[in-house]
Amino acid sequence: MLTVLEVLKSSANYLENKGIKSARLNSELLLSHALKCRRLDLYLSFDRPLQKHELDLYRELLKRRSTHEPLQYIIGSVEFYGLEFKINPSVLIPRPETELLVENVIQNLKQIESPKILDIGSGSGNITIALAKNLNGSSITGVDLSIEAIKTSEKNAELHNVKDRVNFVCRDIFNAWDFDLNAFDAIVSNPPYISNLEFENIDDEVKLFEPRNALTDGLDGLSYYKRICLISKSLLKKSGRLFFELGFKQSNSVHKILNENGFKNIVIKKDYSDIDRVIYGELS
């Protein structure tokens, strides 16, 4: 029977030959998932033989990963802002850089008593729920076009015990809009900002597996910024704030859109790679 160490060595080579980055790490994470143990536990049981059913399951997971299906979809979860979120191919995989967006919302709203927030394009609910867990008394509405995404976010809200303070609704922001006017202290969005041209050149791991309408607007990558800025003027309270995650080299364009829609005190924040990643402004 093959041992844990033998399986890890062979599977890492297999994934590396398939062009998978960080092949050894992927092998370890998939095996720990198959064995329902921590990754650390693998290092403590290198000599443990794998049972046939364990090996069969692991080989199936490896086969999926070899096609470049994202690790997070195979495992079914991802960590974001210190919280674990259940995910599936109906939702975008939360990225570490989006944590900067959450951090800036928290820092700007922590002095507001019981802030009311709208999250547009809520996906798995990662932004909505991370804010609810870190802003006491907050009330947050998440909006997404996909009913399957709404179902996923509702499961995550239950997982993190915030169902009493979050609400997820299925809406298309380009059609009729039925939210109360001047009701929100802040609106936050990580919109589909990849242009149609750029989409054709992104990694297959993203392009072939993640939901297209959560990645690109099918146009120039700016249509959601324009629409959200427009509707935010009637949804935000006076001096309410609008927060966006930015795509690569979009800061000047989005700054202009915010300014043209009456937002002032516009701030741009860089990520750890020194790329403009978050922009926010205050409704004048």
**Same domain, yes or no: 142 and 192:** yes
Q: Number of structural domains, the chain? A: 2
How far apart are the C-alpha atoms of 21 and 207, rounded to whole Å?
17
Q: Check which CATH number belongs to the domain holding 155 and give it.
A: 3.40.50.150
- Tokens 């076009």: give the residue: 145
The CATH number that applies at residue 51 is: 1.10.8
Domain encompassing residue 271: 90-283
Q: Which two tokens stand for residue 42?
A: 């693998």
- Domain identity same for 106 and 225: yes
d(CA 170, CA 151): 10
Assess whether 140 and 243 both reside in one domain: yes
55 and 99 belong to one structural domain: no
Tell me: do 42 and 121 sit in the same domain.
no
Q: Please tell me what DSSP assigns to residue 48.
A: P
Encode the chain (284 residues) as per-residue pLDDT tens digits: 899 999 999 999 999 999 999 999 999 999 999 999 999 999 999 999 999 999 999 999 999 999 999 999 999 999 999 999 999 999 999 999 999 999 999 999 999 999 999 999 999 999 999 999 999 999 999 999 999 999 999 999 999 999 999 999 999 999 867 888 889 999 999 999 999 999 999 999 999 999 999 999 999 999 999 999 999 999 999 999 999 999 999 999 999 999 999 999 999 999 999 999 999 999 98
129 occurs within a structural domain: yes
Q: Are residues 20 and 149 in the same domain?
A: no
Residue 254 lies in a domain: yes
Tell me, yes or no, whether 111 and 51 share the same domain. no
Residue 159 and residue 63 share a domain: no
Single pTM value for the model: 0.94
Residue 77 lies in a domain: no
3-state secondary structure 68-92: CCCHHHHHCEEEECCEEEECCCCCC
In a domain, 201, yes or no: yes
- Whether 182 and 113 map to the same domain: the answer is yes
